C-alpha cells in the first residue's frame, strides 16, 4: 500500500504561505524538531514547534519548495528562500507516524552566512518568548559576530579559493 503524503503537502503549502498554524496542523502532537543551528536542544510538541515556526516564518521570505523525495515514511524536502538580501537553501528530513502525520523534523540550512543570519534573526525573539530578556539582548552580539565572520569569508575569502 502506498504511503499517503497529505501532511507533507499541507506542511509545504503552509510554509510557502508563512502559515504557522497550518504547518502545525500537519504535525503529530508529540513532534520533535531538530534545530539546524545547535544540537544542544530540540523543539518538542505543538507548542514549542509552533513558537519556532511563528518566529522563523516571520523572518524568512519567499519560501519556494523545489524538490520532494520520499521512501516509505521518510520524506526529504528542499526549498529556497530569502532572509533580507541573503539567499537561503534548506533541506528537511521529515518522518511520518502511523497516521501519516509528521513526527520528526530535522533541518539543514546552507550557506553558512544564511545560517548565521537566521540565528541572528530568530534567537532574540525565541529567547524573549522563553522568558529570557537578558539572553535576547546578548544573542545579537554573539551571533552578529559569527555572521560577520561567515559573511566576510563567503564574500572575500571563498572566491579566492574557487577551482580554476
**CATH number for position 18:** 3.10.450.50
**Residue 149: which pLDDT band, with cuts at 50, 70 and 90?**
confident
Res 160: pLDDT: 83
The answer on 99 and 146 residing in a single domain is no
Q: Cβ distance 105 to 35 under 8 Å?
A: no
On whether residue 42 sits in a domain, the answer given is yes
On whether residue 2 sits in a domain, the answer given is yes
Res 150: pLDDT: 77
Cα 84 to Cα 58, 111, 164: the distances in Å are 11, 14, 31
The answer on 115 and 96 residing in a single domain is no
On whether residue 118 sits in a domain, the answer given is yes
Give the DSSP H/E element, type plus range, for residue 9: helix 6-17
Specify the DSSP class assigned to residue 132.
Answer: -
- Non-local CB neighbours of 145 within 8 Å, separated by 6+ positions: none
pLDDT at position 1 over 60: no
The answer on 137 and 99 residing in a single domain is no
69-125, pLDDT tens digit by residue? 999 999 999 999 999 999 999 999 999 999 999 999 999 999 999 999 999 999 999
pTM over 0.75: yes
The answer on 106 and 129 residing in a single domain is no
Amino acid at each position: 500500500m502506498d504511503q499517503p503524503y497529505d501532511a507533507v503537502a499541507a506542511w509545504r503549502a503552509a510554509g510557502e504561505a508563512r502559515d504557522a498554524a497550518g504547518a502545525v496542523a500537519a504535525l503529530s502532537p508529540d513532534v520533535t524538531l531538530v534545530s539546524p543551528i545547535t544540537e544542544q536542544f530540540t523543539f518538542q510538541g505543538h507548542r514549542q514547534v509552533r513558537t519556532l515556526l511563528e518566529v522563523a516564518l516571520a523572518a524568512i521570505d519567499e519560501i519556494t519548495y523545489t524538490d520532494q523525495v520520499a521512501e516509505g515514511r521518510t520524506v526529504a524536502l528542499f526549498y529556497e528562500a530569502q532572509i533580507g538580501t541573503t539567499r537561503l537553501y534548506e533541506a528537511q528530513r521529515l518522518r511520518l507516524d502511523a497516521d501519516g502525520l509528521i513526527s520528526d523534523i530535522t533541518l539543514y540550512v546552507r550557506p553558512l552566512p544564511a545560517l548565521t543570519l537566521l540565528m541572528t534573526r530568530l534567537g532574540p525573539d525565541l529567547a524573549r518568548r522563553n522568558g529570557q530578556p537578558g539572553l535576547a539582548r546578548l544573542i545579537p552580539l554573539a551571533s552578529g559576530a559569527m555572521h560577520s565572520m561567515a559573511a566576510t569569508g563567503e564574500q572575500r575569502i571563498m572566491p579566492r579559493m574557487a577551482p580554476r
